[in-house]
């Protein structure tokens, strides 16, 4: 808590869903710790959030580096800040076949999407359980419900996040702390440009159903506040997730490949 306001850490707060989750949290009475690599957009966001009554602390962190999660936790604790909410949102994807992928990008995805999220949660959850107060969010993806040819590492990383999130959420029953795994589908952010997947059927076709990051954040905050275990954004994404979860892979592999493959 800072004053009377609960305090929330949002990773990946410099753009997209993370920035909009920070806006939702500020609107609902939270102060913020904003973290990502790019400081300028976070400073601008911190200024914007002042108008909502929120005090924000900006902490730069590159979560693709080993030990980055521990350094971030130390930076928070050394300021005397105690977190009520942890939003593990930072993440990135990469399109194209695995055998052609940039090995550095593969490592970056594993560190940011999987290692940092796990280590941050492991470091911050015990204090929340001890205080019997806390809300945690994992931002996974509908990509986590089935293997994702053309985004194989990304899909596997989000399957990890989904599995870890649901398991921890179950373990936390009765502790006063909840963990919500949020699964957006295609969303208008910088994600597609970073992943070089903006020309795929998922993002760029008459079939594409791309949600705004503000709507994802609005739904995400509601699910977090309600302590829901899992929230998939929107009806179409719920159908996609259910078919990914229950279809035989002989069917879901070619369908997912066609949807995720970067176009010409």
Ligand X SMILES: NC(=O)c1ccc[n+]([C@@H]2O[C@H](COP(=O)([O-])OP(=O)(O)OC[C@H]3O[C@@H](n4cnc5c(N)ncnc54)[C@H](OP(=O)(O)O)[C@@H]3O)[C@@H](O)[C@H]2O)c1
Residues labelled catalytic: 154
CB-based contacts of 184: which residues, under 8 Å, 6+ apart? 17, 139, 141, 142, 211, 216, 220, 233, 237
Q: How far is the CB of 117 from ligand X (least distance, A)?
A: 9
Stretch that binds ligand X, among 167-175, 187-195, 245-253, 256-264 (CB under 6 A): 187-195
**Judged by CB under 6 A, which of 6, 91, 220, 244 binds ligand X?**
91
Least separation, in Å, of the C-beta of 65 and ligand X?
A: 8
Stretches 36-44, 48-56, 219-227, 256-264: which one binds ligand X (CB under 6 A)?
A: 36-44
Closer to ligand X at the Cβ: 133 or 228?
Answer: 228
| 190 sits near ligand X (criterion: CB under 6 A) | yes
Q: How far is the CB of 156 from ligand X (least distance, A)?
A: 12
In the complex, the smallest distance separating the C-beta of residue 250 from ligand X, rounded to whole angstroms, is: 25
Q: Which residues of 178-199 are buried (b: 16+ CB within 10 A; e: fewer)?
A: bbbbbbbbbbbbebbebbebee
Q: Are strands 230-232 and 211-212 parallel, antiparallel or unpaired?
A: unpaired
- Return the number of the residue (62 or 133) whose C-beta is nearest ligand X: 62
* Residue 57 or 187 with smaller CB distance to ligand X: 187
Tokens linked to 140: 């996974």
**DSSP 3-state of 59:** strand
64 binds ligand X (CB under 6 A): yes
> Using the rule CB under 6 A, is 63 a contact of ligand X?
yes
Query: Which residues between 221 and 250 bind ligand X (CB under 6 A)?
Result: none
State which of residues 6, 12, 96, 165 lies at the interface with ligand X (CB under 6 A): 12
Per CB under 6 A, contacts with ligand X among 191-220 are: 191, 194, 213
102 interacts with ligand X by CB under 6 A: no
Q: In sequence order, what E strands does 89-219 have?
A: 134-139, 177-183, 187-188, 211-212
**How many CA atoms does the CB half-sphere of 133 hold within 13 Å?**
8
What part of residues 154-173 is at the interface with ligand X (CB under 6 A)?
none
Contact partners, residue 25, CB within 8 Å, separation at least 6:
8, 10, 32, 54, 85, 87, 221
User: Which candidate, 147, 224, 133, places its Cα nearest to that of 125?
Assistant: 133
Question: In angstroms, what is the minimal distance from the CB of 6 to ligand X?
Answer: 22
Assess 89 for contact with ligand X (CB under 6 A): yes
Residue with tokens 């690599």: 37
From the list 57, 121, 141, 169, which residue makes contact with ligand X (rule: CB under 6 A)? 141
Question: Residue with structure tokens 């373990």?
Answer: 171
Instruction: Tell me whether residue 98 or residue 126 sits nearer to ligand X (CB atom).
Output: 98
- Which of 40, 100 has the CB closer to ligand X? 40
Q: Is residue 125 within 8 Å of 142, Cβ to Cβ?
A: no
Cα torsion 144, 186, 60, 22: sign = negative
């Amino acid at each position: 808590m800072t004053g009377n306001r609960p305090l929330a850490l949002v990773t990946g707060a410099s753009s997209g869903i993370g920035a909009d989750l920070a806006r939702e949290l500020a609107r609902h009475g939270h102060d913020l710790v904003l973290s990502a690599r790019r400081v300028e957009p976070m400073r601008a966001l911190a200024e914007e959030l002042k108008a909502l009554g929120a005090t924000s602390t900006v902490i730069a962190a590159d979560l693709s580096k080993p030990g980055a999660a521990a350094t971030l936790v130390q930076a928070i604790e050394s300021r005397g800040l105690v977190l009520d909410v942890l939003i593990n949102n930072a993440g990135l994807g990469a399109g194209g076949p695995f055998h052609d992928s940039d090995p550095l990008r593969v490592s970056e995805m594993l560190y940011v999407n999987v290692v940092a999220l796990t280590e941050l949660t492991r470091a911050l959850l015990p204090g929340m359980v001890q205080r019997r107060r806390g809300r945690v969010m994992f931002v996974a993806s509908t990509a986590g419900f089935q293997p994702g040819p053309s985004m194989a590492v990304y899909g596997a990383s989000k399957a990890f996040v989904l599995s870890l999130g649901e398991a921890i959420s179950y373990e936390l029953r009765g502790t006063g702390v909840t963990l919500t795994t949020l699964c957006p589908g295609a969303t208008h952010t910088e994600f597609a440009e970073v992943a070089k997947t903006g020309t795929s059927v998922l993002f760029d076709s008459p079939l594409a159903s791309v949600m705004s990051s503000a709507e994802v954040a609005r739904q995400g905050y509601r699910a977090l506040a309600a302590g829901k275990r899992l929230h998939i954004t929107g009806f179409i994404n719920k159908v996609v997730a259910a078919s990914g979860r229950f279809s035989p892979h002989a069917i879901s592999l070619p369908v997912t490949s066609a949807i995720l493959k970067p176009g010409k």
